[in-house]
Amino acid sequence: MKRRTFLAGCALSSISLTAGLSLAEKRKKKPNILLIMADDMGYSDIGCYGGEIETPNLDRLAGNGLRFTQFYNAARCCPTRASLLTGLYPHQADVGHMVYRDQGKGYHGKLNKQCVTLGEVMKNSGYQTMMSGKWHVGHSEDVWPSNRGFDKFYGIHLHVDSYFKVLKGCDVYKNGRKVIKAADTPANRLHPDQEWYTTNVFTDHAIKFLDEAEKDKPFFLYAAYNAPHWPLEAPDKTIQKYRGKYMHGWEALRKDKIERMKKLGIIKENWQLSKSDAPEWESLSEDDRKNLDFRRAIYAAQIDNMDQNIGRLIKKLEEKGELENTLVLFLSDNGCSAEPERKMFGYRFRENRIENFRQWRKDSGRSSSQGMAWANVSNTPFRKYKKWTHEGGIATPLIAHWPEVIKNGGQLNHTPGHVADIMATAVDVGRGFYPKKFGGNEIKPMEGTSLKPAFDGSEIKRENPIFWEHEGNWAIREDKWKLVCDGPKGKVELYDLENDRTELSNLAEAKPDKVKELTEKWHKWAKRADVLPWPYKPQWQADI
Ligand SMILES: [Ca+2]
């Protein structure tokens, strides 16, 4: 009932705001939307969230825009992208897990027909819809971006575990047409003089789309980078910028970061830094420390390079005179990755060293990663990682920039939010329409809450708790309370996030009534949202 009221409100405001305007004027008034997604980037990697990595372009967006400090993703690539694109929880779109096999209801592994994508909704709302980058919400032809509402697409339907190559099975498509098959040295067709590097290439094509866009029609552009997901691969020059900067180790860097985060107001003074998961830096050999410095330098370069590319997108919007009336949103799809699990220093740490870097520089796949120890730094001050539903797995920066509307630049908003809110926000700011039926199919009502009120300093009206489930890790957040559990057999933990966002003081035993209340709410949601029954292992269900 509440959702219907919200939609009716949208429709009414749409009528009243545009009454008396010509069609061209109405179109002009609609803002463009540029949605930018990073892959596996930690909560505090970028400068404006207290990170040490140089991100002047994102920092500028934050300085003129708004930063959300308690925004959440859905813990992993596929579920987050499904939720972001549809405004539903991942399982409701049938991407509760990954996209590699059909695991039944909620887990079919590709977007279903009971959801609509941002492409479909914005296209039907009068927008040109364009996407560049990583799709990863199903790769059969019926769910290709070009068949799910995007007028233009350049990128990869599957995972993108490579920067310099196109992996086998992960071909590059342009508008539904395969343009590059697996290749070790793919040609960068827009810049033949340059080496193929995904972050650059995806930006090149996003810029091309902007250049080709019709002037009198608003656009929705989704730029989905694979940076800084493993493997560690970055332009040599950018890596050099960071070499040696990490030789003082992870303990010092975490301490520096938490101080900066407090100063910026990203975190509260009384929140404690979580315990480090890493061994003592000084206990490691000089050679290992040098190699760890090198690995972190490459990771930093991946983010630095992404920031440079975001700068190119912003410059293009400026050149076209569109920046003022474009809502730019930037976020990450999950917390920083500790993959492979239990490997402190990342993939192939003993084999792939500084000395033989030229041999593994572009090996792709599981050739390298920064490992759990550095990921712990990327997720400062939180616990845990990608795939978990503790804050380290699900907390993301969200920067919103929209000069025509966001007037008090540099502010922080501490209201909890979720990637499903992006659909509600896009519909709200674009005066669009979220359908009840689409292509002859009933569409599930959207789950998110519009963030638009926050853009002019008003309060976001969230009515429901936020829920998570991934690989049996689950959580619910309602106001300041969060109940979180590691796996179906795990013990529930209860935290007061207002006083303890780093989840260090478990109040589950002290507050059994709150545990019961939140557990019941989570179960009710899990049944409604096709999360349960779990498909993974039958014996897990006995505990739930
Ligand atoms: Ca990811």
DSSP string, 244-295: TTTTTHHHHHHHHHHHHHHHHTSS-TTPPPPPP-SPPGGGS-HHHHHHHHHH
Q: Is residue 124 part of a domain?
A: yes
* Phi/psi at 421 (5° precision): -70, -20
| Cα(17) to centroid(ligand 1), Å | 39
Instruction: Tell whether 404 is covered by a domain.
Output: yes
Domain of residue 425, CATH code: 3.40.720.10
Using CA atoms, how far apart are residues 222 and 457, in angstroms rounded to an integer?
25
Q: Are residues 246 and 103 in the same domain?
A: yes
Of the residues 390, 425, 449, the one at which a domain ends: 449
Does residue 526 share a domain with residue 381? no
Q: How far is CA 481 from CA 66, 514, 534, in A?
A: 24, 9, 25
Residue 11 has pLDDT above 50, yes or no: no
Where is 450: in which H helix or E strand?
A: none
Q: pLDDT tens digit string along 285-311?
A: 999 999 999 999 999 999 999 999 999
Q: Are strands 466-470 and 473-478 parallel, antiparallel or unpaired?
A: antiparallel
In the chain, the percentage of residues whose pLDDT exceeds 70 is 93
Residue 249 and residue 112 share a domain: yes
At residue 12, does pLDDT exceed 60?
A: no
In a domain, 1, yes or no: no
What pLDDT score does 257 carry?
98
Q: Looking at the domain assignment, is residue 155 inside a domain?
A: yes
126 burial (CB, 10 Å; 0-12 / 13-18 / 19+) is: middle
Chain segment 71-109, per-residue pLDDT in tens: 999 999 999 999 999 999 999 999 999 999 999 999 999
Same domain? For 409 and 544 the reply is no
Residues 477 and 441 in one domain: no
Q: What is the pLDDT of residue 173?
A: 98
Print the domain residue range for 347: 23-449
156 in any annotated domain: yes
Average pLDDT over residues 386-411: 97
Distance 269 CA to ligand 1 centre (A): 30
Cα–Cα distance for residue pair 143/146, rounded to 1 Å: 8
What pLDDT, on the 0 to 100 scale, is given for residue 140? 97
Q: How far is the CA of 136 from the centre of ligand 1 (A)?
A: 10
Q: And the tokens for 347?
A: 């993939």
Predicted structure pTM score: 0.94
Q: Where are the beta strands (DSSP E) in 420-519?
A: 437-438, 441-442, 466-470, 473-478, 481-485, 493-496
DSSP character at residue 7: H
- The whole-number pLDDT of residue 537 equals 64
Q: Which CATH number characterizes residue 493's domain?
A: 3.30.1120.10
Q: What is the mean pLDDT of residues 332-337?
A: 98
Name the average pLDDT for the chain.
Answer: 94
Beta-bridge mates of residue 220: 33, 129
Nearby residues of 356 by Cβ (< 8 Å), 6 or more positions away = none
Write phi, then psi, for 355 (nearest 5 degrees): -60, -35
Same domain, 208 and 315: yes
Rounded Cα–Cα distance for residues 32 and 333 (Å): 22
Number of domains composing the chain? 2
Query: How far apart, in whole angstroms, are the C-alpha atoms of residue 159 and residue 521?
Result: 34
Distance 371 CA to ligand 1 centre (A): 15
Confidence band, pLDDT 50/70/90 cuts, at residue 489: confident
- Distance (Å) from CA 365 to ligand 1 centroid: 14
Spatial distance between the Cα atoms of 152 and 130, rounded to a whole number of angstroms: 5
Assess whether pLDDT exceeds 80 at residue 7.
no
420 lies in some domain: yes
* Distance between Cα 437 and ligand 1 center (Å): 31
In this prediction, residues 511-530 reach a mean pLDDT of 98
**Local structure of residue 166 (DSSP, 8 states):** B
pLDDT at 536: 76
Per-residue confidence band for 488, with pLDDT thresholds at 50, 70 and 90 = confident
Alpha-carbon distance 117 to 362, whole Å?
A: 34
Does one domain contain both 398 and 525?
no
Residues 193 and 273 in one domain: yes
Q: Closest Cα to residue 128, out of 29, 27, 23, 202?
A: 27
Quick check: 21 pLDDT over 80? no
Peptide bond into 538 cis (omega under 30): no
Could you tell me which residues come within 8 angstroms of residue 158 by beta carbon, excluding any fewer than 6 positions away?
A: 99, 135, 136, 139, 169, 170
Mean pLDDT of the 523-539 span:
87
Cα of 40 vs centre of ligand 1, distance in Å, is: 4
What is the pLDDT, as a whole number, of residue 1? 34
Q: What separation in Å is there between the alpha carbon of 385 and the centre of ligand 1?
A: 11
Give the Å distance between the CA of 387 and the centre of ligand 1: 9
Look at residue 504 and tell me whether its pLDDT is greater than 60.
yes
- Predicted confidence (pLDDT) at residue 542 exceeds the cutoff of 80: no
DSSP states of 205-244 as a string?
HHHHHHHHS-TTS-EEEEEE--TTSSS----HHHHHHHTT
Mapped onto helix, strand or coil, the DSSP state of residue 24 is: helix
pLDDT in tens, 420-456: 999 999 999 999 999 999 999 999 999 999 999 999 9
pLDDT of residue 6: 37
pLDDT over 60 at 525, yes or no: yes
pLDDT > 50? residue 14: no
What is the average per-residue pLDDT within 147-167? 98
Distance 216 CA to ligand 1 centre (A): 35
Q: How far is the CA of 446 from the centre of ligand 1 (A)?
A: 23
In a domain, 18, yes or no: no
Alpha-carbon gap, residue 270 to 421, rounded angstroms? 29
Both 347 and 496 in one domain: the answer is no
How much is the pLDDT for 275?
94
* 27 pLDDT more than 70: no
Q: What angle do CA 459, 460, 463 make, to 5 degrees?
A: 125
- Answer yes or no: are the C-beta atoms of 99 and 137 closer than 8 Å: yes
CA 84 to CA 77: how far, in whole Å?
Answer: 11
Give the pLDDT score at 4. 38
Ramachandran angles phi, psi of 434, nearest 5°: -95, 120
φ and ψ at 97, to 5 degrees?
-120, -120
User: Residues 377, 300, 372, 496: what is their CA dihedral angle, to the nearest 10 degrees?
Assistant: 40
Annotate 343-398 with DSSP letters as a single string. Answer: -TT-TTTTTS-STTHHHHTT--STT---HHHHHHHHTTT----TT--SHHHHEEEE
pLDDT score for 29: 74
What's the one-letter identity of residue 290? K
Residue at token pair 């930006």: 203
Of the residues 449, 484, 499, the one at which a domain ends? 449
Q: What residues are labeled active site?
A: 77, 136
- Determine contact, residues 39/333, Cβ cutoff 8 Å: yes
Residue 68 has pLDDT above 60, yes or no: yes
Say how far apart CA 468 and CA 449 lie, in whole Å: 16
Count the neighbouring beta carbons within 10 Å of the beta carbon of residue 491: 9
Report how far residue 75's alpha carbon sits from residue 499's, in angstroms, rounded to the nearest whole number. 23
**Domain boundary, last residue among 449, 479, 513:** 449
**Confidence at 410, pLDDT banded by 50, 70, 90:** very high
Same domain, 539 and 412: no
In a domain, 120, yes or no: yes
Model confidence at 406: pLDDT above 90: yes
Tokens of 387: 């795939």
Clarify whether residues 300 and 220 are in a common domain.
yes
Give the number of other Cβ atoms within 10 Å of residue 76's Cβ: 26
pLDDT-derived band at 543, boundaries 50, 70, 90: very low
pLDDT value at residue 93 = 98
Co-location of 444 and 471 in the same domain? no
pLDDT of residue 341: 79
Q: Look at residues 106, 382, 408 and name the one whose alpha carbon lies nearest to residue 261.
A: 382
